[in-house]
């Protein structure tokens, strides 16, 4: 059966000269037989989609902690929106859609409970620091599948590691995800902030709305079309200067009025204290960790890093449940 080979041939003949071809991947850390149906990046996408860390994203905070409402974004819905934006751009530019999707689905696996508040807390107390992009790579290389990792290709791991603003991926597909991440969170966080009455559409700076649009739908349309138009035929993923500046200005506005807004972030200090107390509890009571993490220490991993791994993998509600178990007084039981 030559299904995979036929797909690779289709990539060679159809995709852009700037695309990353599956057959040209730098490979995996551990060699393994090829799938007879799926090229390597499609296989990576499937591995991420089926892993436990991906499923836990549905109960991890995006921006609003414990929101009252079913329509606020979670880390999982954010991931899906990033993936969809990225796939749209990749398809239009004839780049490798499987690679884009794998990177997008894996880029936030390492996020902590309680969003960036949790990340900042672990970064401040864990020796060596904590960054969610590095933790995402650690998950797919080490933590998933009981310490075996997912054995993903180099290109997918590179895109996951370098999706943040201060970094730059090595592939065109990784660059698409890097921009699509910002496009997704700026726009859906505006939508959620309006839903939560933190701000209104009219409060967004007029100079940015004039360039990008007056609704989430029109802004997404503007940004995605602009990237496609300005990247066609180029060995880079880029935007026009006016649209890029407007997007950066809107991102700065969101940091000032939403991401640091006491109304939206009022519970963050409690969340940070919760994780801080869990961190020191597990360091003192290391036998409370699951066996997989104890085995990691037996193999040479530092205690603090293993505790950090365990806490970072928690969902919001699991972290709260563990806090209640260890620190809240139990009600008297009447027989």
Distances (CA, A) of 125 to 100, 108, 304: 34, 21, 9
CA 286, CA 308: separation in Å to the nearest integer? 12
Given a contact cutoff of 8 angstroms between Cβ atoms, the answer to whether 61 and 268 are in contact is no
Burial of residue 71, with CB atoms counted within 10 A of its CB: 0-12 exposed, 13-18 middle, 19 or more buried: exposed
Q: Per this entry, what is the length of the chain?
A: 335
Angle at 143 between CA 151 and CA 179, to 5 degrees: 70
Residues 6+ apart with CB under 8 A from 260: none
Q: Strand, coil or helix: what is 252?
A: helix
CA distance from start to end of the chain: 67
Given a contact cutoff of 8 angstroms between Cβ atoms, the answer to whether 333 and 155 are in contact is no
Q: Chunked in runs of 10, what are the mean pLDDT values of the chain (335 residues)?
A: 92 98 97 96 98 97 77 94 98 98 98 94 94 98 95 98 95 98 95 91 96 96 98 97 98 90 74 96 97 95 97 96 91 52
Burial of residue 268, with CB atoms counted within 10 A of its CB: 0-12 exposed, 13-18 middle, 19 or more buried: buried
Selection from 263, 239, 240, 243 nearest residue 251 by Cα: 243
Helix ranges (H only) for the chain are 3-14, 40-49, 52-56, 75-93, 97-106, 115-125, 132-138, 144-147, 154-161, 172-195, 206-212, 216-231, 241-254, 262-265, 268-284, 291-298, 303-312, 316-327
pTM comes to 0.95
Selection from 228, 282, 263 nearest residue 91 by Cα: 228
Selection from 306, 314, 321 nearest residue 57 by Cα: 314
**pLDDT value, residue 263:** 65
Max Cα-Cα span within the chain: 76
Q: Strand, coil or helix: what is 153?
A: strand
């Amino acid at each position: 059966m030559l299904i995979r080979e036929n797909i690779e041939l289709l990539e060679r003949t159809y995709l852009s000269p700037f695309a990353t071809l599956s057959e040209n991947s730098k490979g995996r850390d551990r060699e393994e037989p090829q799938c007879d149906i799926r090229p390597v990046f499609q296989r990576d996408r499937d591995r991420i989609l089926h892993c436990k860390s991906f499923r836990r994203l549905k109960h991890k905070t995006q921006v609003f902690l414990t929101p009252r409402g079913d329509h606020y974004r979670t880390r999982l819905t954010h991931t899906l929106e990033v993936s969809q934006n990225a796939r749209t751009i990749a398809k239009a530019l004839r780049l490798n859609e499987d690679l884009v999707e794998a990177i997008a689905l894996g880029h936030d696996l390492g996020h902590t409970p309680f969003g960036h508040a949790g990340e900042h807390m672990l970064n401040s107390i864990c020796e060596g620091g904590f960054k969610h992009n590095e933790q995402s790579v650690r998950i797919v290389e080490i933590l998933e599948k009981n310490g075996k990792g997912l054995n993903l290709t180099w290109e997918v791991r590179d895109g996951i590691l370098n999706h943040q603003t201060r970094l730059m991926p090595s592939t065109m597909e990784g660059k698409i995800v890097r921009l699509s991440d910002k496009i997704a969170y700026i726009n859906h966080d505006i939508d959620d902030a309006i839903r939560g009455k933190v701000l209104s559409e009219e409060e967004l700076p007029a100079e940015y709305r004039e360039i990008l649009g007056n609704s989430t739908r029109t802004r997404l349309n503007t940004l995605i079309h602009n990237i496609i138009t300005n990247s066609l035929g180029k060995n880079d993923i880029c935007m026009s200067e006016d649209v890029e500046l407007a997007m950066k200005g809107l991102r700065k506005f969101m940091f000032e009025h939403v991401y640091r807004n006491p109304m939206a972030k009022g519970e963050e200090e409690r969340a940070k204290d919760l994780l801080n107390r869990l961190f020191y509890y597990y360091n003192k009571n290391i036998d409370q960790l699951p066996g997989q993490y104890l085995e990691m220490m037996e193999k040479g991993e530092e205690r603090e890093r293993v505790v950090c791994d365990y806490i970072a993998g928690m969902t919001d509600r699991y972290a709260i449940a563990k806090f209640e178990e260890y620190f809240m007084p139990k009600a008297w039981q009447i027989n």
